Structure 1
Amino acid sequence: MVQYNFKKITVVPNGKDFVDIILSRTQRQTPTVVHKGYAISRLRQFYMRKVKYTQTNFHEKLSTIIDEFPRLGDIHPFYGDLLHVLYNKDHYKLALGQINTARNLIGKIAKDYVKLLKYGDSLYRCKCLKVAALGRMCTVLKRIGPSLAYLEQVRQHMARLPSIDPNTRTILICGYPNVGKSSFINKITRADVEVQPYAFTTKSLFVGHTDYKYLRYQVIDTPGILDRPFEDRNIIEMCSITALAHLRAAILFFLDISGSCGYTIAQQAALFQSIKSLFLNKPLIVVCNKTDLQPLDGLSEEDMKLVNEMKAEALKTSIGHGGEGTDADVLLTMSALTEEGVIAVKNAACERLLNQRVEIKMKSKKINDCLNRFHVAVPKPRDQKERPLCIPQAVLEAKAKQAAAEEKRKTEKDLEEENGGAGVYSMNLRKHYILADDEWKEDNLPEILDGHNVYDFIDPDILHRVEELEREEGLRQAEADDDDFEIDGTELTPEQQEALAEIRRKKSILIQQHRIKKSTAESRPTVSRKFDKDRQFTTERMGRQLSSLGLDPSMAINRMRSRSASRKGRKRERSPEGRNDGMDIDDDTPSKKQRLSRSLSRSRSVSRPPHEVVPGEGLRDSAQKIKAIKLAKGSSKKRNKNAKRGEADRVIVNLKPKHLYCGKRSKGKTDRR
């Protein structure tokens, strides 16, 4: 038998306590004394041990939390749905996922900083890396503080849940609030469930145990259920619904026939009809309680009719699923106050459940191994008369029809294989719609946008209009292609036609040369224009081309030469006022002063020194400017230093951090918190 004991889950500390526990353990369990004179390898090993030990402790603690909390997909569906009802499985999974992510991040941080510590070049650098590693680990853990607090609350609540075995013999008590369910479980078990004369005294599941025929049965008391839609039920009611849906148990539906619970028999019958689908394949007994206040015989005809309908439904459920229920077993009366009929109800429920479990086991495959050990006696024939099997003709016809229907019926898998297989076949989701007319299944569903049906705003001739637009667009595009500008030469003079032909010929030659260069660009070495033998791009070539066109090339050649001369020179001559004239020298015979300035510019720079005072700066002399420059550098030094600061640089926020300056503890005091 599978037992779920959530009380064994370890306590989940909050973020601050978690950090204190881990850092204190690191401080106690690892060496604390290191000297400056140690070899650098020993220093690295000392701090790497600290980082690795801290990461291992974090990993163990977080792994314990992840492993001990149950995974909703691995436990029984009853507990999975119960936890979802109580805690919302999305929040639960998200919290555990954040714990797992934090564990992985801490592992990566430790790995990265151990790698950096291998190359630490001093005691100070190694210590800074260790502090940075531990600080980042603690930051990661503090970020998941809300998840740790949530899991601690879940753990405390789960520890208070009853230990229910979903697979053992179970009796489930359900019904409206205040109908006597808790009083009944107190009578037949030693469970001490609170009983009060008002509704919803029981707000969660309670478990007791009782014995019948030397077998142990667990009895579960569920909170009351109200007759309302499923989505309107609260968490207390959903606990009962979850137990009814998932536990294979004998159901005792309690009915208060006296009306003292505050609900009429009609309301209780309506609840029975609304949840009867949860009673399938389970032994069901309708228990009429509080007969000391109102006997069953004294009910009105309408109420008696409702009770008989419930009795018929319970009998149908029992017979339809292999039970052996009779009228006497399905409808029972009792009084929890006088204890009249209490034991009879318990015995009937246990007997019905036992018979059903035996019947299920007889139908299982395991029974064959047991039957092989028994000797089955075969009677000897007492005469020569043949006694063949006698099967009614109606049964044979019904079986034949069923077999034919099964042969004809095609599954979705068969339809998928016939229509192209997976990825091609699309299942028709509408064919099982329950509509008044089957032809309505294939109707187009309206698309609603802003409260309006989109189809109401669609022009019925829209397809025809789209075709017309496409046709018109094609005609316009064809006209645009025909109207491309191209000189055909019909309106030109003979001289212009010759020039046009020459331009086109030169254009084609240039295009071919460019394509050849582009195709061989990767394999062709780059040759400086200085060593270019062809000398294609020269002023002489440009002059010849301009002369052939009837233009004077002298101005263009002079302009190109002056530009190249200005590029060869270091800088233009500085004027006496400390600025450039902005004039190029085009004379062929420069003066002596110009030649001297050019030779000086080639030998040394004539740029202004930093301490030289320029008019308009607002400084008195060069000494004052030098002082201003020093002050500016001093003020920007601190900002530059802060800008270059990284994670590994030494930053002590707290001048006396507890875990770095406290030593080993003495024998007397072991809890500093």
Structure 2
Amino acid sequence: MALYNFKRIQPVPAANDFLDIVLSRTQRKTPTVIHKNYKIGRIRQFYMRKVKFTQDTFEEKLKAMLEEFPKLDDIHPFYADLMNVLYDKDHYKLALGQINTARHLIDQVAKEYVRLLKFGDSLYRCKQLKKAALGRMATIMKRQKDSLAYLEQVRQHLSRLPSIDPNTRTLLVCGYPNVGKSSFMNKVTRADVDVQPYAFTTKSLFVGHMDYKYLRWQVIDTPGILDHPLEQMNTIEMQSVTALAHLRACILFFMDLSEHCGYSVEDQIKLYHNIKPLFTNKPTFIIINKIDIVRPEDLPVEQQDMLKEIAEKDGAQIIQLSCFTDEGVMDARNTACEKLLTARVEVKLKGQKINDVINKLHLAEPQARDNVARPPIIPEEVKGRSLFNLNDPNRRKLERDLEAENGGPGVYSVDLNKLYIFKDPEWRYDSIPEIIDGRNVADFIDPDIQEKLDLLEREEERLETEGFYDSTEEIVDSEDEALRDLATEIREKKKFIIQAHRSKKMMKNRPILPRTVKTKSNKFFNLSLWRKWKKQLGKLGLDTSAVRARSLTRKRKRNDNDGDDSEQMDIDLPPNVLKSRRLGVSVSRDRSVAGLAVGQQKQTTKYRKFAQRRPNQFAKAGEADRSIQVKRPKHLFSKKSGIGKRDWR
């Protein structure tokens, strides 16, 4: 319903609070530790990040503020003029323009100081540039103190404005103060507007909602208008004029003929003629209120003629009602709604969109296939009756009438079975209703079932007495026996299949060779290949007499003296290990030193640790790590503790 929801605008903080929010976020979201022994490029990046992040935060906050506040050129003219009346659009645009200018100035300051930071030659110089950048940004925001305060006041007032849809079905109530406008609105809507016996009780626009013909309607109660020039009207009256000028609504101009409002009938008629140009192309009604005191027939002839002239010349319909006795209130509402619906349809028919709608509609006209007359059939029981005319003696009784006759709500119980359509009306109240073809479960129950059951029980007692069930012989059917044999055969076959599968799976997972003969590259040891290696080692002048082969599946037995025999080699070792041991080369699992001698491995490891020392120092504490510089702050741990909080900082 609400086309413009100004309640979603975020609060605008004051200038000092704005700075605290932005700088606190910069401190929390960016690195906090820097040292002078860092490289100058790293120091520059540290402070450039601070400046850029602060500028981005200002940009984000200010841009969101500018987007949330409505732009007077983009919203409906009703809201644009209403904001001009309440806040002065020049001041409003000036405040938003100053905020936008501050945003651009902060961007320029950030770009300028980031450019200077690229050439900072020391930590002190970079720090001072950062400090100057943030200081200039803070100064720019402090100058916007008045604009921020003004926008916060506008936001608070906008959030209290009623949500008015300028394009929906609307009844607009207007007239002199204290003529009964708010009382009428309380009667026809769910609103609760303050009603007092003095003028200008309503000081702003109030909106109430109601339902008519399954449609949602809004009723707007406007403040009272006095009869003086437009330039002399105050802010309260200008709100009513703005609503009358811009809302496409049905105008209800209220008049008090009893003059209890404090204004004469002539003054009220004069006010109508003065604001009549605002009613152009809008359905208008003259609502005569307080007829329980004075009716139009009781007025002097001159005043009656003035009212008739309005009705004849301007085409305004005169409706009489009394909000005190509720006489004519709902009739006035219904008449105004019908008139507005008709006017809206006429406006749409005159527009250009109706052509597109008509092209999509097709009215089917059936062709007569014979000369037989087929008049509409209206049942006799409803012909000439009205369900809504309570005084009609032929009106059909409704459930509501039956409820009132039989004790009212909570006592009367609705008879749902009386509308069931059965072949036999007596079936409506069966304990088991019809299922199909006029039958239910009860129709298939044997009426002699109890006698047959008694007969069967007596027969069972006789068989037990004669010993018919005492025989222990098992009666075996030939079909059952064949079925059991088949089931046994299936179980045996299934068991055989499971055993074959398990044996096959066990052979597949079984290792063929011992794991000790596998090399690092997953190649199995080959005896013929080893003999070639042994022959080649002999040609190189190495002694291979101590090398002996043994069974691949048998473990080697070691004696006490075997540990001293350093010349013997084990056939279980892979060839590359054997060659390395012969040549005095150490084999390690570390690939970075693979293929190096022992001395070279130690030297490589030493250089690697030395090169890693500086990165390790940086990894222990970086500028993004949180650190508490003072473990026991003086303001928290000095002097005696008293009653109250200690976080006064």
Q: Same fold (TM over 0.5)?
A: yes
3-state SS of paired residue (2:171): strand
Q: Tell me the equivalent position of 1:347.
A: 334
Deviation at 1:36, TM superposition (A): 1.2
Q: Is the 8 A contact 1:285 1:314 kept in 2?
A: no
Q: Tell me the equivalent position of 1:590.
A: none
Name the CA distance, whole Å, in 2 between partners of 1:355 and 1:228.
34
Name the CA distance, whole Å, in 2 between partners of 1:197 and 1:217.
28
Q: Which range is displaced more, 210-219 or 136-145?
A: 210-219
Q: Once the two structures are superposed, what CA deviation does each residue of 1:223-259 show, in whole Å capped at 9, x if it has no partner?
A: 0000001100000000000000000000000000110
Q: Once the two structures are superposed, what CA deviation does each residue of 1:554-602 show, in whole Å capped at 9, x if it has no partner?
A: xxxxxxxxxxxxxxxxxxxxxxxxxxxxxxxxxxxxxxxxxxxxxxxxx
Name the CA distance, whole Å, in 1 between partners of 2:198 and 2:306.
25
Q: Tell me the equivalent position of 1:247.
A: 247
3-state SS of paired residue (1:332): strand
> Would the alpha carbon gap of residues 105 and 227 (structure 1) be closer, same or farther in structure 2, given more than 3 Å must change?
same
Q: Tell me the equivalent position of 2:640.
A: none
Deviation at 1:377, TM superposition (A): 5.3
Q: Does 1:361 align with 2:320?
A: no
Q: Tell me the equivalent position of 2:231.
A: 231
Name the CA distance, whole Å, in 1 between partners of 2:237 and 2:126.
60
Q: Is the 8 A contact 2:2 2:164 kept in 1?
A: no
3-state SS of paired residue (2:200): coil
> Would the alpha carbon gap of residues 111 and 256 (structure 1) be closer, same or farther in structure 2, given more than 3 Å must change?
same
Q: Is the 8 A contact 1:209 1:218 kept in 2?
A: yes
* Aligned pairs (5 A) from 1:239-278: 239-278=239-278
Name the CA distance, whole Å, in 2 between partners of 1:49 and 1:309.
78
Name the CA distance, whole Å, in 1 between partners of 2:170 and 2:105.
46
Q: Once the two structures are superposed, what CA deviation does each residue of 1:13-42 show, in whole Å capped at 9, x if it has no partner?
A: 010100011011111111111111111001
Q: Is the 8 A contact 2:206 2:221 kept in 1?
A: yes
* Letter aligned with residue 347 of structure 1: N
Q: Tell me the equivalent position of 1:13.
A: 13
* Letter aligned with residue 334 of structure 1: L
Q: Tell me the equivalent position of 2:358.
A: 371
Q: Tell me the equivalent position of 1:205.
A: 205
Name the CA distance, whole Å, in 2 between partners of 1:2 and 1:288.
32
Q: Tell me the equivalent position of 2:283.
A: 283
3-state SS of paired residue (2:210): strand
Name the CA distance, whole Å, in 2 between partners of 1:132 and 1:27.
16
3-state SS of paired residue (1:193): coil
* Letter aligned with residue 365 of structure 1: Q
Q: Once the two structures are superposed, what CA deviation does each residue of 1:186-211 show, in whole Å capped at 9, x if it has no partner?
A: 01111111000000000000000111
Q: Is the 8 A contact 2:286 2:319 kept in 1?
A: yes
Give the number of aligned pairs: 379
Instruction: Name structure 2 gaps, 5 residues minimum.
Output: 369-627, 634-644
Name the CA distance, whole Å, in 2 between partners of 1:166 and 1:365.
21
* Letter aligned with residue 173 of structure 2: I
Q: Tell me the equivalent position of 1:75.
A: 75
Name the CA distance, whole Å, in 1 between partners of 2:112 and 2:309.
73
Q: Tell me the equivalent position of 1:109.
A: 109
Name the CA distance, whole Å, in 1 between partners of 2:181 and 2:366.
50
Q: Once the two structures are superposed, what CA deviation does each residue of 1:142-166 show, in whole Å capped at 9, x if it has no partner?
A: 0010000000000000000000000
Q: Is the 8 A contact 2:2 2:163 kept in 1?
A: no
Q: Is the 8 A contact 1:32 1:663 kept in 2?
A: no
Name the CA distance, whole Å, in 2 between partners of 1:306 and 1:663.
89
Q: Does 1:143 align with 2:143?
A: yes
Name the CA distance, whole Å, in 2 between partners of 1:19 and 1:161.
30
Deviation at 1:310, TM superposition (A): 2.3
Q: Is the 8 A contact 2:169 2:216 kept in 1?
A: yes
* Aligned pairs (5 A) from 1:152-551: 152-315=152-315, 330-372=317-359, 373-375=361-363
Q: Once the two structures are superposed, what CA deviation does each residue of 1:104-154 show, in whole Å capped at 9, x if it has no partner?
A: 000000000000000011110010000000000000000010000000000
The percent of aligned pairs where both chains have the same amino acid is: 63
* Aligned pairs (5 A) from 1:577-588: none
Name the CA distance, whole Å, in 2 between partners of 1:283 and 1:378.
39
3-state SS of paired residue (2:211): strand
* Letter aligned with residue 349 of structure 2: M
Name the CA distance, whole Å, in 2 between partners of 1:346 and 1:131.
68
TM-score for the superposition, normalised by structure 2: 0.56
Q: Is the 8 A contact 1:102 1:140 kept in 2?
A: yes
Name the CA distance, whole Å, in 1 between partners of 2:51 and 2:309.
73
Deviation at 1:2, TM superposition (A): 6.8
Q: Once the two structures are superposed, what CA deviation does each residue of 1:381-433 show, in whole Å capped at 9, x if it has no partner?
A: xxxxxxxxxxxxxxxxxxxxxxxxxxxxxxxxxxxxxxxxxxxxxxxxxxxxx
Q: Is the 8 A contact 1:286 1:314 kept in 2?
A: no
Name the CA distance, whole Å, in 1 between partners of 2:367 and 2:343.
30
Deviation at 1:44, TM superposition (A): 0.4
Name the CA distance, whole Å, in 2 between partners of 1:272 and 1:333.
17
Q: Does 1:30 align with 2:17?
A: no
Q: Once the two structures are superposed, what CA deviation does each residue of 1:429-487 show, in whole Å capped at 9, x if it has no partner?
A: xxxxxxxxxxxxxxxxxxxxxxxxxxxxxxxxxxxxxxxxxxxxxxxxxxxxxxxxxxx
Name the CA distance, whole Å, in 2 between partners of 1:85 and 1:167.
21
Name the CA distance, whole Å, in 2 between partners of 1:148 and 1:203.
27
* Letter aligned with residue 143 of structure 1: R
Deviation at 1:367, TM superposition (A): 2.0
Q: Is the 8 A contact 1:2 1:167 kept in 2?
A: no
Name the CA distance, whole Å, in 1 between partners of 2:629 and 2:204.
49
- Flag the structure with larger Rg: 2
* Letter aligned with residue 267 of structure 1: D
Q: Is the 8 A contact 2:248 2:282 kept in 1?
A: yes
Deviation at 1:366, TM superposition (A): 2.2
Q: Is the 8 A contact 1:44 1:118 kept in 2?
A: yes
CA RMSD of aligned residues (A): 2.5
Instruction: Name structure 1 gaps, 5 residues minimum.
Output: 319-329, 381-660
* Letter aligned with residue 308 of structure 1: K
* Letter aligned with residue 147 of structure 1: S
Q: Tell me the equivalent position of 1:507.
A: none
Deviation at 1:663, TM superposition (A): 9.4
Q: Is the 8 A contact 1:15 1:148 kept in 2?
A: yes
3-state SS of paired residue (1:162): coil
Deviation at 1:304, TM superposition (A): 1.2
Name the CA distance, whole Å, in 2 between partners of 1:662 and 1:306.
89
3-state SS of paired residue (1:275): helix
3-state SS of paired residue (2:23): helix
Q: Is the 8 A contact 1:292 1:335 kept in 2?
A: yes
Name the CA distance, whole Å, in 1 between partners of 2:630 and 2:112.
28
* Letter aligned with residue 234 of structure 2: N
Name the CA distance, whole Å, in 2 between partners of 1:139 and 1:663.
31
Q: Once the two structures are superposed, what CA deviation does each residue of 1:65-98 show, in whole Å capped at 9, x if it has no partner?
A: 1111000000000000000000000000000000
Q: Tell me the equivalent position of 2:509.
A: none
3-state SS of paired residue (2:204): coil
Name the CA distance, whole Å, in 1 between partners of 2:54 and 2:306.
69
* Aligned pairs (5 A) from 1:48-127: 48-127=48-127
3-state SS of paired residue (1:96): helix
Q: Does 1:3 align with 2:36?
A: no
Name the CA distance, whole Å, in 1 between partners of 2:142 and 2:70.
24
Q: Is the 8 A contact 1:250 1:349 kept in 2?
A: yes
Q: Tell me the equivalent position of 2:618.
A: none
* Letter aligned with residue 84 of structure 1: N
Moved over 4 A (4+): 376-380, 661-664
> Would the alpha carbon gap of residues 226 and 376 (structure 1) be closer, same or farther in structure 2, given more than 3 Å must change?
farther
Deviation at 1:6, TM superposition (A): 0.4
Deviation at 1:300, TM superposition (A): 1.1
Name the CA distance, whole Å, in 2 between partners of 1:271 and 1:166.
25
> Would the alpha carbon gap of residues 33 and 120 (structure 1) be closer, same or farther in structure 2, given more than 3 Å must change?
same
3-state SS of paired residue (2:201): coil
Name the CA distance, whole Å, in 2 between partners of 1:264 and 1:99.
51
Q: Tell me the equivalent position of 1:587.
A: none
